[in-house]
A and B are shown apart, each in its own frame.
Chain A
Amino acid sequence: MKKIRSTAVAIPAENIDTDQIIPARFLKATSREGFGKNLFRDWRYEDDDESRPRAGFPLNNPAAKGSILVAGKNFGCGSSREHAAWAIKDYGFQVVVSSFFADIFRNNALNNFLLPVQVSDAFLERILDALDADPAAELEVDLEAQTITLPSDGSAEGFDINPYKKTCLLNGYDDIDYLVSILPEITDYEASRPTTLA
């Protein structure tokens, strides 16, 4: 993952919790696949009925598509379910843009190579306005340069990412690989601990 230029889907609501992203009743699966079809299930369909998509919900708007999801402030709060990140990824998104992410969601996203891009409230507003005016407007996210750009008017903003996590994303390796590589050091640490912690 280096640079992504794509159209985007906007769900401007604030405080979107992981129960909305993927309701608990879909957490019975024991694999990581297939959650995308139930992404935002209860906002997407009337009375849980797939034949009755809710008019007006962005995922049901054929004009709104792309690999970037743009959402209101405090995205991903609530339950720690990683299924939320799996569902967003499985649906086809690679980037989520918001002006604020809940901590656990941010970690879960990064662990699944889904990039959370945190922008200022003002820039989020600008993106939402642009998408409102033209659902086909594109966004460009450059992980290497840590910038997000709205090519239609050239406005851009930088975003933060932990340098370690950035290296992981750019090279496709994960935390477990790293932790396993330092197991001898972990064993030494265990040996040095006071017994009151055992």
Chain B
Amino acid sequence: MGRTLFEKIWDAHVVRTIDGGPSVLYIDRHFIHEVTSPQAFDGLRRRGLPVRRPAQVVATADHNVPTEGQHLPIREELSRRQVEMLVTNCKAFGVELYGLGHPYQGIVHVIGPELGVTRPGMTIVCGDSHTSTHGAFGSIAFGIGTSEVEMVLATQCLLQSRPRLMRISVEGRLSKGVLAKDVILHIIARLGAGGATGYFVEYAGSVIRSLSMEGRMTVCNMSIEMGARGGLIAPDETTFAYMKGRPFAPAGQAWEDALSYWRTLPSDADAAFDRELHIDASDIEPMVTYGTNPGMGAGVSQHIPALAELPEAERTNFSKAIQYMGLRDGQALKGQPVDYVFIGSCTNSRIEDLRLVAEFVKGKRKADGVEVWVVPGSKQVEKAAREEGIDKVFEEAGFSLRQPGCSACLGMNEDKIPAGKYCISTSNRNFEGRQGPNARTLLASPLTAAVAAVTGRIGDIRELI
């Protein structure tokens, strides 16, 4: 019987398996950032251990950084101290840091791929649940907690039980204006916020294969929002074309060798999955979430479910969510006014996202009373945007193009959405308070966010292009 992409990578990384217990899994790449690493470095100090393979660790500062005036000292003391601690720890333990001001700095899940540090066939971890993003390259990539960060720093290994495998195939053609973000929001709405817990998901099918690497990263990024440990996509010519020539991608003979290895990775035709799900692309509309978990979403032409339509058991949680959001059950999504538009986060802050938005807003102005923040995922994305004149388009539209970081994705740094305000956001979580205490998040694609930016409301991009 054939093996899946996941199994091929997993098998190549098992150091040993404990009887009746987990496996010791070797980790190729470890990304760290300021928020989930300080306690891990402390642990190393307490145990008197070094970082075992510093060359396999890459650090950046993203969660807790301001997105304006990055050349100035960080105003907020605790944030400043946390970012400084990362600098101190990386220096002391010999870890490469792309910190504030470095041309490679950015959101950890944006910089790994764009630098060519992320590669097919690898095991990749980071103390951040959206590490699944890197799975777009055909790697096993997943988020870990701080104790596990310490384990990987100390031993380059983790104890892991093999997850079950699910394949989600999306076949057909996407309608114009429907993006990778809509595909994944549609899948999560189908499966629910815990629907893939315990699974690793392989995304397949003609729609997935037709996506750019940026689109594939958007899809894999949100795997965790249905509870999956991670998501991955078989590497193909699109993957290789994206990787070639990246700063840390292999070159010369090493590239050729890597390429022949990568070509062996896709799941064999007779490989078996524990669960299969088929999705028809023609069922996918531009999506918007209306609730407080990413599974509470619907097509933009739809209504929020009416209470009476829902099974009895779901009503309490649904009502609580709708009440938090200040929305009514049965209400149409289209036409709902918004106050803020956030285009950014590791889900949708890559150059392709910015290009799409710029193309749509060129020559238009933001709606009155709407605040629009565009936050590039990395210094490299920011640089490309300026070189391509995208910054000018945004300026003329009245958008503010900020500096790279997680920004309003998580309500930790200075960029927060005020209480009670609606923010249409290209990020990945609409949890209560995620973007700031009592902020109301509506998740959507960059194009749907752009529509809201120029009209001040939720609208259907398909009617405008």
- Count of A-B contacts judged by CB separation below 8 Å: 188
A186 and B147 in contact, given A31-B39, A176-B155 (Cβ under 8 angstroms): no
Please tell me if A42 contacts chain B, counting CB pairs below 8 Å.
yes
Q: How far is the CA of A67 from the CA of B197 in the complex (A)?
A: 27
Interface contact B20-A24, CB-CB below 8 Å? no
Within B196-239, the residues touching A (CB, 8 Å) are 197-198, 224, 227, 229
Q: How far is the CA of A109 from the CA of B283 in the complex (A)?
A: 39
Q: Name the B residues within 8 Å of A19 (CB-CB).
A: 410, 429, 431-434
A108 and B147 in contact, given A19-B434, A197-B122 (Cβ under 8 angstroms): yes
For chain A, the count of residues having a C-beta within 8 Å of the partner chain is 59
| Minimal Cβ-Cβ distance residue in B for A27 | B35
Within A152-198, the residues touching B (CB, 8 Å) are 162-165, 174-176, 178-180, 182-183, 185-186, 189-190, 193-198
Q: Name the A residues within 8 Å of B28 (CB-CB).
A: 197-198
Interface contact A104-B432, CB-CB below 8 Å? no
Query: Which segment of B11-19, B176-184, B330-338, B341-349 sits at the interface?
Result: B11-19
Interface centre among A48, A104, A163 (most CB of B within 10 A): A104
A80 and B129 in contact, given A24-B411, A103-B197, A176-B43 (Cβ under 8 angstroms): yes
Interface contact A20-B154, CB-CB below 8 Å? no
Q: A20-B432, A176-B151 are in contact. List 6 more A-B contacts (CB 8 A).
A: A19-B431, A83-B146, A104-B143, A111-B147, A179-B151, A185-B16
Interface of B toward A, CB cutoff 8 Å: 12, 15-16, 18, 20-22, 24, 26, 28, 35-36, 38-39, 42-43, 47, 49, 52, 63-64, 78-79, 81-82, 85, 121-122, 127-129, 143-148, 150-151, 154-159, 161, 163, 193-194, 197-198, 224, 227, 229, 254, 257-258, 261, 293, 317, 320, 410-412, 419, 429, 431-434, 437-438
A179 and B24 in contact, given A15-B317, A24-B411, A196-B121 (Cβ under 8 angstroms): yes
A-B contact pairs, 17 of them (CB 8 A): A23-B437, A28-B64, A28-B82, A32-B146, A74-B197, A100-B194, A104-B129, A107-B145, A162-B21, A164-B159, A175-B159, A176-B154, A180-B49, A182-B15, A182-B24, A193-B26, A197-B28
Q: Name the B residues within 8 Å of A178 (CB-CB).
A: 159
Within A88-117, the residues touching B (CB, 8 Å) are 100, 102-104, 107-108, 111-112
